[in-house]
Amino acid sequence: MNNPVLDPRDLRYVLFEILNIDSLTQFEKFASFDHDTFEATLDLIENIAVKECYPHFADADRIGCSWDQATGNVTLPDAVKKPLKAYYDAEFIGIVESPEIGGMGMPQTLGAACGEFISAAHQPLLMWGALAHGSMMLISNFGSDELRKTYIPKMMAGEWGGTMCLTETQAGSDVGRLTARAVKQPDGTYRITGQKIFISAGENDFYSNMVHPVLARIEGDPEGTKGISIFIVPKFLPDAKGNPGKRNDLKCTGIEHKMGIKGCVTCSMSFGDNGECVGFLLGKEREGMKIMFQMMNDFRMGTAVQAQGVSSAAYLHAASYSKGRLQGSALKDMNNPSAPMVPIIEHPDVQRMLLWIKSYVDAQRMLIYNMYYNMDLGTVLQGEEAKEARAIVDFLVPVCKAGCSDRNVLITSEAMQMFGGYGFCCDYPIEQMMRNSKILCLFEGANGIQGMDLVMRKLLMNPGQYNYSVFKKRINESVELARKNGIPAEYIDPVIKGLARLDEYVEKMKGMAAGMKFHQILSGATPFRKAIYMLAIAWMHVWSLAVSYPKMKAIAGDRKGAELKALIADNREAAFYYSRVLTSRFFIREEFPQFFGMMDALFSDEWPALEAFAEAFPGTVEM
C-alpha cells in the first residue's frame, strides 16, 4: 500500500518490540485477543486512513464548513462526511470501550495507534470522532440509567455526535468565571441559559442529533469552579422511543473563520434564548469540573496523538520529497558546472533536517504509546504495580500534550523548509499540516497551563513526589537495559547526568515552595516543562537503542562503509534498525545537549520576567 502518512513498520516496532502489547493478552480483560487480532486491526485502520481519509484531506480544508445565518444550520463538505462514515462503519469509536456498552474492549495502546493513523491522514476528522466518544463516555460513567440507555447506542452507532461546552467569551481558560446558568425544574430537569464559544463540532448536518455536555452554575450555587455543575443538553429532545423529537432551545450563532482545521467546524452556541433549553444533570450537583476533567484529561492525551499524527505525516512527506527533488550537484562536483543534479537528500543540511524531524517523531511515538500502555497496565495489574502505572500516566499527560504539540509546530515548519517555496503553496499538503498544527498548543488547556499543572499538581503537590519518583525509576530501568545490551556509554551517560540535573532543580523548587516563592516557580514552569520533555525524549532514545542496536548488529554484524550501505539497500529490516539507531545517536549527541543549557537558565537566581509589569512593554495600542 502506498502510505504517505505513517510508517507502519515503526508503529509495529513500538507496539510489539518496545512495549510488547501482546503480553496484555495474558490478562482476563484482553484474553479474547491475540497478535493476529491486533495485526488485523492495524491493517484495517491503515486501509481506512490511506484510502478513505487521506484523499479527502485537502478538499475538507479548501471547501470547509458553511453556516446559514437564518437557520443556524451548518453544512459539512463530503470530504468530511465520507471519511467520517468510513470511520464509524469500522466501529472505531468504541475500539477501547467495554463490550457491555457496544465497544470492542481492545487495549488503549492499540486505540492510540489507530488514532495516530487517522490524525496523520486527516487530522480534523479525528476531532469529530473524539468529541462524540468523549461525551458518550461522560454519559456512560456519570449518567443515569435512562440517559445511558437512550444516548449510548445512538452515539456508538455514529447517529448522534457530541461536543464539549466549557469556554465563554469573558472566561476563556478561567472556567470558574463562567456565567451560564441552570434552574432546576419540578420534573428534575434544568433550564439552561448562556453562551459558549469555540465549540468544535457544535452544529452540523452529519449527525441526526447533537449531545452537548454543558458546564453551568445552578441558581444559588457558589462562584468559582466549586459551584459548577454539568448537564447533557441535546439538540433534539429524545422522544418516548429514544429518537430525536422536539427541537431544544439552542442554536449555533456563528462559526469561526480559522487558520486551520477547517474540516471541523468551530461554533458559537447560544442556549435558552427563549427560556426553554432543557438539560439533564450528569452526576451530582457542583461536581461539574470533576466530571468534565475526565473528558479533558482524555482529550489532552488525544491532543498528543493528534500532534504525533501530523508530525508523522509531515516527516514522511518531507523525506519522500527529498528523495525525488533534484537540485544542485553532489558536493564532490561542486566545481563542475556540468555535473548532474542530485536529489536534495544527498545534501548534508537536508540529511540533518530529516534526522532532526525523525528524532522527535520516533521518540514521541514511543512516549505517547508508553503513556497509553501504562493506562492499560493500570487496569490489569494489582497493588504497587498498578499504582506505578497510573502515576506515570498522570505525570506524562502534560509532558506529552504540551511537548508534542509544541514540537509539532516546529516539525511542520522544518518539513516545509525542505520543500522550499513549493511548501508555502497549496501544491503540497505541508502548508495545510502547518496551519493545522498550532491549534493543538491552544486547546484542551493552553500549553502554559500544562506547565503549571506539571509543576504544581503533578509534582510539588503530589504526596512525596511519587509520580516523579516513578518517572525516574522508569528512566533508570531503561538505562540498565541499555547497559545490559551493550549500548556505548556515550549514549547513556548524558541521560544519567540529565536526570541528576533535573533532580537538583526539583529539590530547588521544593525549597522555593517552602519559602512561598510561587511566582518564581510559575515563571519557570514552562521552561521546566520543556526541559523535562527533552529528557523524556532522550529516555525514549536510550530505550530504543537498547532494543534496536542488538537487532541491527544481529543482521549487519561488523559491516561498515560500502558493505554496510549495500546491505541496508538490499535488506529492509537492516535499513529499519540502522535508521532507528542512527536517529537515536543523532538526538543524544546533537540535540540533547540543549537540555543542560535549559537547566542552567532555570538555576539562575535572577527572574527578569517577574519585573515585566505592563509598562515594561511600551509602544502598544488599544485592541
Q: Is the distance from CB of 123 to CB of 436 less than 8 angstroms?
A: yes
CA distance 399 to 526: 10
CA distance 200 to 216: 18
Q: Per the structure block, which three cell numbers stand in for 320?
A: 519522500
Grid cell 560500502 in the structure block, residue:
562
> Measuring CA to CA, how many Å separate 167 from each of 92, 196, 260, 269?
28, 6, 19, 10
CA distance 249 to 425: 43
CA distance 394 to 385: 14
Question: b vs e for 354-391, b when ≥16 Cβ sit within 10 Å of the residue's Cβ?
Answer: bbbbbbbbbbbbbbbbbbbbbbbbbebbeeeeeebbbb
CA distance 149 to 157: 13
- Catalytic (active site) residue 573: no
Q: Is the distance from CB of 139 to CB of 76 less than 8 angstroms?
A: no
CA distance 375 to 226: 28
Q: Is the distance from CB of 520 to CB of 611 less than 8 angstroms?
A: no
**3-class DSSP assignment, residue 213:** strand
Q: Read off the amino acid at residue 287.
A: E
Q: For residue 156, count CB atoms less than 10 angstroms from its CB and return exposed for 0-12, middle for 13-18, buried for 19 or more.
A: buried
Q: Read off the amino acid at residue 616.
A: A
CA angle 263, 12, 88 (to 5 degrees): 35
* Of 444, 507, 573, 615, catalytic: 444
Catalogue the active-site residues. 444
